[in-house]
Amino acid sequence: VSKPVKPSKRSPGRPARLSREAIVEAGLALLEREPREPLTVARIAAEVGAVPAALYRHFASLDELLDGVLGRVLGTLELEIRPRAPWPQQIRDWMTSLRRHLLRYPGVLPLIGRRGRTSPAWLDAVAVQIGILERAGLAGARLARAHLWILETTVGIVVQEVSIPLHDQ
């Protein structure tokens, strides 16, 4: 679990030294400490001891900032997929690994498809699943339908579990 990011010591009137890394780490720390609270610029700014506008010196937009946090979370995703297992088992492994990771960071769920856009980090995570389906011989519309069904099922289960925890699943 990440520790809260503390601003560097500074002289009165001198702004805190911020960096993209410190801001993303602060977002991650908030997600780990308070996973069910929405991640906002105001909360991240408070975590680093700055005003919200200061974060925009390091990120061009809110989407870029949230993509950075989502990228950090998904960058720690460990997909435990057995390389020699049949493809249905590999899909199950992918679904189980993703579910376990998203349950650890439920606060990222709203960031995944925020305002109809897809984060590059999310695309990297689902590319593994698409690769398994392609190796199974799926292509075109069949691949797209299978991909969406598996993805929506996995995320739907996570959303349900975050809302109403399913113990011993």
Cα 60 from Cα 95, distance rounded (Å): 33
Residues in contact with 133: Cβ distance below 8 Å, sequence separation at least 6, in sequence order? 87, 91, 143, 146, 147, 150
Q: What average pLDDT does range 23-41 have in this prediction?
A: 88
For residues 59-68, average pLDDT: 88
Residue 57 confidence (pLDDT): 93
pTM across the whole model: 0.79
DSSP structural state of residue 106: G
Mean pLDDT of 108-136: 86
Question: What is the average pLDDT across 6-28?
Answer: 72
Q: What is the predicted pLDDT for the residue at 128?
A: 95
Has residue 39 got a pLDDT over 70?
Answer: yes
Better pLDDT: 164 or 22: 22
DSSP category for residue 77: -
- Residue 137, judged by CB atoms within 10 A of its CB (0-12, 13-18, 19+), counts as exposed
